Structure 1
Amino acid sequence: MSRLLRASAIMAAGTMVSRVTGFIRTMVLAYAIGTAFLGDAYNAAYAIPYSILDLLLLGVLSSVVVPMIVRAQQQDPDGGRAYEQRLLTFATIVLIVVAALAVLAAPLLIDLYTDWDRGERKFEVAVRLAQFILPQLAFFGIGAVAGAILNTRDRFAAPMWAPVVNNLVVICVLIAYAIVVTDGSDLNSVSNGELALLGLGTTAGIVAQATVLVIALKRAGFRFVARFDLRNARLGEMARAGVWTIGYVVVTQLGFMLTTNLSSAAGDAVAGHGISPYTLAFQLFQLPYGVVGVSVITAMLPRMSRAVAEGRFAEVRTEFGSGVRLIGAVMVPVSLLLMVLGPAITVPLYGHGANTVANAIYIGNVLQVYGLALVPFAVFQMLLRVFYSFGDTRTPVFVGAGTTAVNAALMVLFYSLLPARYAVMGLALAYAIAYGLGAIAAWMLASRRVGGLGGWQIGMAMTKMYLAALPTAALALASVWAVQEVFGGLGFLNSMIILTVGGGLGMLLYLWIAHRVRIPEVSSVVGMVAGRVRR
C-alpha cells in the first residue's frame, strides 16, 4: 500500500507541475508570437505531429501495447526483454521513416489541416515551421514506448516528469525568441532563422523529453539491442486488439481536421479569431476534466471492471453514480464560472507582449462557450468507461463516430451562418451540443447494458448542485459588471479583482451553500482537502 501511495504521489506531483509549466509555456508563446497570423501558423504546424502520433501510436499505447508488454513479461522465458527490444526497434524504424516522409509532405499536410491558399505568406510560414517541428515525431514516439515500458516496471517518476523538461526547454526558447526578435508577431518580417529558432526549439523540447525517458529506462535495467526478427513482435495480435481504438482515433482526428480548416478560414477573415484562440481556449477547458475527471475515472474503471466480471451490476451502477456526482460537485460550479469569467481568466494569461488584450478577450469568449460543454463532456467520458468495463471497445467507436458527425454538421452550419468574428465561438458551441447529445445516446446504450444507471437519483443530485452554484454565478456576474462600471475595461488588474471576488469568493460561497444543503460529495472533497492541509 505504501508503495502504491508513493507512486500515486509522484504521478500527482508530476502531473500538476507538468500542467503548470504547460500553461506558462502557452502564456510565453502568446507573449512571443501572439494569436494572430503567426500564432495560427505555429499552432497549425504544432498540431500535425500530435495528430499523426494519435493515429499511429498513442491511441493504442495504453489500451493495447502496455497489456501486451505485461503479458510478455509474465509469459516469455526471458521476462519479456526480447519482446520489449523488438517493439522499440520496430517503433524506432517506423517513426523515423514517418518523420522523414512527413517533413517531405509538409506542404500537403498544411493543405489538409488548413484552409489557406498555397503561395500566401501564412501558408509558407506554416510549412517551414512544420518542416522544423515534424522531426519530433520520431523522438516523441520513441519516448512514448520507453515510457510504456517504464510503467510496466512500476517506474512512474520519469514518464510524469519528462514533459516538465520539455516545457522548460520550450519556455527558454520562446523567451529567447521574444528577446531576439523585435516584432515577434509580424508574419511578413519573420526570417527563416527566426522560424528555425521557433520550430527547432519546439523539437528540442521533445528531444529532451525522450532523452530523459531513455536514460530512465536504462537505469531501470533495460538494455537496448536492435532486433529485426519482427515476426515475433506480435504485430498482428496488436493490430487486432487495437483496431477499434484506432477506429475511434481516426474518427476524432477527422473531426479535428475539419475544426482546423474552419478555424483557419475564420482567422484569415479576422486576425486573432482563428486556430490560436480555439487551441488556447480548448486547453483551458480541458484543465478541470484533466485534474478531476481523469483521477475519478482512473480509480473507478478497475472497480467497475471487477464488478462486471463477477456479474454485480448493482455495484456498477453505484460506482458510476458516485463517480458522476463526485465529478459534478466540481464541474458544475466551474462550468458556470467559465461561462461568466472567461475573458477575466484569459486576459491575465494571454493579454501581454505580441498578443493584444482584445485578442485575449476573444479567447475568453470562446472559453465562455466551452463552459457549456464541461459537464456533458465529463459525463460522456464516464459513460465510455461503462463500456470499457465490459471489455467493449466497439460501442464507443460508434458513439464517438456519431458524436463527431453531429459536431461536424453543426460546425459547418454555424460557420456558414455566423459572421467570421464569431465563427470560432460557433465551433465551440457545436462541440458542446454534440457532446450533450452524445452523452444522451451513450447513457441510453449503457443503461440497457447494466439494467439502469440510476438516472433519477443522479439527476436530482446534479440539479441540487446547479441550484447551489447559481449564487456563485450571480456573484461572479455582479463582480464583472461592478468592476467594469467602476474601473472601465478588462485590463490585468481589473481581471484579477474580478477573479478574486467572482472566482475565489464565489467558490467559497458554493462550498458553504453545498455544505448547508448537505451535498455529500462536496463535503467529502472539503474534508479530504482539510485533512491534507492539517497534515
Structure 2
Amino acid sequence: MTEPAPPAPADRTAEDQEQRSILGSSAVMAAGTVVSRLSGFVRSGLLLAALGNGLHADVFNIANTIPNMLYILLAGGVFNAVLVPQLVRAMRSDEDGGAAYTSRIVTLAALFLGGVTVVLVLAAPWVVALATDGSWSPEAQRSAVDFARLCLPQVFFYGMFVLVGQVLNAHGRFGPMMWAPIANNVVSVAVLVIYLVVYGTTGGSTDGGFTTNQELLLGLGSTLGIAVQLLVLVPYLRAAGVRLDPRFDFRGTGLGHTLRLGTWTVLFVLANQVAYFVVVRLASSGTADGGADGTGYSVYSTAFLIIMVPHSVITVSLATAVLPTLSAHGADGDLRGLAARLGATLRTALAVTVPFAALLPLVATDLARLISYGRSADTYENFVPSLALFGPGLVFFTVHYLVLRGFYAVERTRTVFYIQCAVAVTNIVVAALLVNATGDADTAPALVVGYSAAYLVGSVISYTVLARVLGGLESRVLVRFLVRLGVTVAVSTAVAGGAYAVGQALLGAPTYLEALLRAGVVTALDVAVFLLLARALRLREVTSVLATITRRLPAARRG
C-alpha cells in the first residue's frame, strides 16, 4: 500500500488549524448530543419503569421502532450521505448559492414522504408481521398493530427533520440538529410520567397487550415528540438565510445526478435495514413466552443506546463536521488531503471509543442496576451480558462508519453497497445461528455478538478498499497511534479493574447508591489514569479533544 508523503510543516500547521476548526464545530454538536442523550436516558429509564424489559416492553418498543427503520430504509441513506455533498456543490457552483436546488429537494422529499406514510399506515398489520416472528400472543400482536398505526406517521417527520437538519449543516449551522431531539425527549418524558401516574409500575397484562387508552397515550405521544423535534428546526432556517419555496420543476436541474448517486445508497441502506429487520424479528422470540429471564428487543436496544453514547457524542459530531470538508477535498480531486483529514478524524474518534469499550465489562452490572426501576428492577441482570459484550462492536462500527464518509466524499456509493452487503450477510448469519443455538436468556447477547462480527468484517473491508482508492490512509500513523493507545488503555483498564474487584468483594449485589458510587469511582480512576498516560505518551488526538473541551468551559475562558 502506498502512503502519502508526510505533510510539510506549513501544511501540518494548516491541517492542525483545520482539525481545530472541526473539533470546535464537533464540540457544539457534542454538547447538544450530551444533553439530548441525558434526556434520552431519562426517557429510557421511565419506559423501563413503566413497561419493564420483557414482552410488554417489546410490544411497544418494536412498534415504535418500525417507523424509524422504515424511514431509514426508504429515504435515510439519500438524506444523510448523498444530499450533503450535493448541497455543498450546489452552494459553491450555482449562481443563487443553491437556493433553488434546496427548495426542489425539500419539495420532492415532502411529497415522497407524505405518500409513503399514508401507504404504511394502511399496511400496518403486514408491516408488524414482517418485524415479528409470529410467536407473540394474539393480544400482544393486536396491540403492536394498533401502536404501529399511531406511530407510522413518524416516517414523515423523521424524514423532514433529517433533511432540514442537513440543509442547516450544509450552511455551517451544526448545533440545532443536535439540540432538537431534546424537545422530543421532553415530550416523551411528559407522556411517560402521565402513564406512570395513571397506570403505575405494576399495570399491564401478562400477555403483552395494552388497553386502547394506553395505546393512544403512548402511540400519539411518541409521534407528537417527533413532530415537535422537526418544528424546533424551522426558525433556524431563516436565521441561516435559507428560504424554502415549493418548487416542482424537477427536470434538468441536477436532481437526476443526485438520485443516481442515491440509487446505490438506497441499496446500501436496504441491505442494512434488511439485516436490522431480521435482528428485530429474532429479538421478538426472546420474550415471547413472557419468562422473567428472557431477553429480547428491549434489552438489546437499551444496551445499544448506552454503548452508542460515545459514538453519538464524538463520532457522529466529528463525521457531521468533517463531511463538508471531505466533500470539498473530493470535489477538488485532493485525495491526499481527504486521506489526511479522514485519518485524523478516525484517530480522534478511536481515542474515545476504545477506552470506553474496554471499560464496559467492568461497569456493566452497575449500569444495569442504575437503569432498572419499577417493573424492570427485579430483572436488571438481564442487561449485564449484552452491555459487557458490546464494546468490540462499538470500535469496529466506529471505523466502518467514518471510513464510509470517505467513500461518500468521492461518490463511490456503489462500493459502499457491496461492502454493506457483506456486513448484512454476516450479521444475519451469525445472529440467526447463535439465537437458534441458545435459550431465551441469551437472545440479546447473541444479537450483540452478531453485530460485532458484522462490523469487524465491515471495518476491515471498508478500510482496505478506501486505502487503495485514496492511495493510503496514513496507516503507519494509525498503527503507531493504536500501539500507544493500546498500552494506555491496557494500563488504565487494569487499574480500574483492580478498583472494581475491591468493590465487588465489599459490595456483592449493589444497591442503587452503591452501584452509582462503584461505577463512578471505577470510571473516574480509569479516565484519570488514561489521561495522564495519554499526555505522557503524547497522544495528540486525546489532548486535542481535551483542550477543545476545556477551552469551552466558562472557568477556562475566564482564566
Look up the match of 2:4: none
Query: What aligned pairs does 1:12-411 form with structure 2 within 5 A after superposition?
Result: 12-66=30-84, 68=86, 84-117=102-135, 120-152=138-170, 156=174, 158-182=176-200, 183-188=202-207, 190-217=210-237, 231=251, 236-269=256-289, 270-271=291-292, 272-301=294-323, 315-348=337-370, 350-358=371-379, 360-411=380-431
Query: What aligned pairs does 1:435-450 form with structure 2 within 5 A after superposition?
Result: 435-450=455-470
Task: Report the Cα offset of residue 67 of structure 1.
Answer: 5.0
8 Å Cα contact 1:33/1:354 also seen in 2 = yes
Task: Report the Cα offset of residue 329 of structure 1.
Answer: 2.3
8 Å Cα contact 1:37/1:185 also seen in 2 = no
Secondary structure of the structure 1 residue equivalent to 2:223? helix
Aligned letter for 2:224?
A: A
8 Å Cα contact 2:396/2:456 also seen in 1 = yes
Aligned letter for 1:423?
A: T
Secondary structure of the structure 2 residue equivalent to 1:127? helix
Structure 2 CA distance, aligned partners of 1:279 and 1:393? 28
Query: What aligned pairs does 1:436-515 form with structure 2 within 5 A after superposition?
Result: 436-515=456-535
Task: Report the Cα offset of residue 40 of structure 1.
Answer: 0.5
8 Å Cα contact 1:347/1:357 also seen in 2 = no
* Cα gap change, 1:323 to 1:150, in 2 (>3 Å): closer
* Alpha-carbon displacement from aligned partner over 1:337-370 (angstroms, at most 9, x marks no partner): 012212212321x211121242x33223212111
8 Å Cα contact 1:30/1:353 also seen in 2 = yes
Structure 2 CA distance, aligned partners of 1:234 and 1:330? 39
* Alpha-carbon displacement from aligned partner over 1:155-177 (angstroms, at most 9, x marks no partner): 55543433221111111001100
8 Å Cα contact 2:158/2:226 also seen in 1 = yes
Structure 2 CA distance, aligned partners of 1:6 and 1:459? 26
Aligned letter for 1:337?
A: L
* Alpha-carbon displacement from aligned partner over 1:299-348 (angstroms, at most 9, x marks no partner): 55555555566666555554444333322322221111012212212321
8 Å Cα contact 2:326/2:338 also seen in 1 = yes
* Cα gap change, 1:519 to 1:147, in 2 (>3 Å): closer
Structure 2 CA distance, aligned partners of 1:206 and 1:521? 35
* Alpha-carbon displacement from aligned partner over 1:98-150 (angstroms, at most 9, x marks no partner): 22221221111111111134762221111111111112223333344444444
Structure 2 CA distance, aligned partners of 1:309 and 1:225? 28
Structure 2 CA distance, aligned partners of 1:148 and 1:529? 25
8 Å Cα contact 1:45/1:133 also seen in 2 = yes
* Alpha-carbon displacement from aligned partner over 1:263-290 (angstroms, at most 9, x marks no partner): 1111225445100011111111211122
Task: Report the Cα offset of residue 42 of structure 1.
Answer: 1.2
* Cα gap change, 1:413 to 1:284, in 2 (>3 Å): same
8 Å Cα contact 2:26/2:321 also seen in 1 = no
* Cα gap change, 1:217 to 1:494, in 2 (>3 Å): same
* Cα gap change, 1:437 to 1:7, in 2 (>3 Å): closer
Aligned letter for 2:361?
A: M
* Alpha-carbon displacement from aligned partner over 1:349-394 (angstroms, at most 9, x marks no partner): x211121242x33223212111121222212223223333433222
8 Å Cα contact 1:147/1:213 also seen in 2 = yes
Structure 1 CA distance, aligned partners of 2:204 and 2:195? 11
Structure 2 CA distance, aligned partners of 1:479 and 1:118? 44
Structure 1 CA distance, aligned partners of 2:480 and 2:89? 44
Aligned letter for 2:148?
A: A
Task: Report the Cα offset of residue 466 of structure 1.
Answer: 2.0
* Cα gap change, 1:415 to 1:517, in 2 (>3 Å): same
Within the alignment, does 1:412 sit opposite 2:432 as a pair? yes
8 Å Cα contact 1:53/1:137 also seen in 2 = yes
Aligned letter for 1:356?
A: A
For structure 1, which segment, 222-231 or 18-27, has the greater mean C-alpha deviation from structure 2 after superposition? 222-231
Structure 2 CA distance, aligned partners of 1:510 and 1:292? 17
Aligned letter for 2:396?
A: P
Structure 2 CA distance, aligned partners of 1:209 and 1:219? 18
Secondary structure of the structure 2 residue equivalent to 1:116? coil
Secondary structure of the structure 2 residue equivalent to 1:472? helix
Instruction: In structure 2, list runs of 5 or more residues that go unmatched.
Output: 1-17
* Cα gap change, 1:361 to 1:91, in 2 (>3 Å): same
Structure 1 CA distance, aligned partners of 2:91 and 2:318? 29
Aligned letter for 2:400?
A: F
Secondary structure of the structure 2 residue equivalent to 1:115? coil
* Cα gap change, 1:72 to 1:319, in 2 (>3 Å): closer
8 Å Cα contact 1:116/1:122 also seen in 2 = no
Structure 2 CA distance, aligned partners of 1:8 and 1:444? 27
* Cα gap change, 1:475 to 1:362, in 2 (>3 Å): farther
8 Å Cα contact 2:347/2:481 also seen in 1 = yes
8 Å Cα contact 2:23/2:548 also seen in 1 = no
Task: Report the Cα offset of residue 223 of structure 1.
Answer: 6.8
Aligned letter for 1:57?
A: A
Task: Report the Cα offset of residue 245 of structure 1.
Answer: 1.1
Aligned letter for 2:307?
A: F
* Cα gap change, 1:463 to 1:156, in 2 (>3 Å): closer
* Cα gap change, 1:441 to 1:133, in 2 (>3 Å): same
For structure 1, which segment, 274-283 or 380-389, has the greater mean C-alpha deviation from structure 2 after superposition? 380-389
Give the alignment's TM-score, normalised by structure 1: 0.89
* Cα gap change, 1:223 to 1:313, in 2 (>3 Å): closer
For structure 1, which segment, 155-164 or 486-495, has the greater mean C-alpha deviation from structure 2 after superposition? 155-164
Structure 1 CA distance, aligned partners of 2:473 and 2:21? 34
Aligned letter for 1:391?
A: E
For structure 1, which segment, 110-119 or 73-82, has the greater mean C-alpha deviation from structure 2 after superposition? 73-82
* Cα gap change, 1:357 to 1:131, in 2 (>3 Å): same
8 Å Cα contact 2:23/2:318 also seen in 1 = no
Superposed CA RMSD in Å reads 3.2
8 Å Cα contact 1:115/1:261 also seen in 2 = yes
Look up the match of 1:425: 445
Structure 1 CA distance, aligned partners of 2:318 and 2:84? 21
Structure 1 CA distance, aligned partners of 2:224 and 2:263? 32
Q: Percent identity?
A: 32
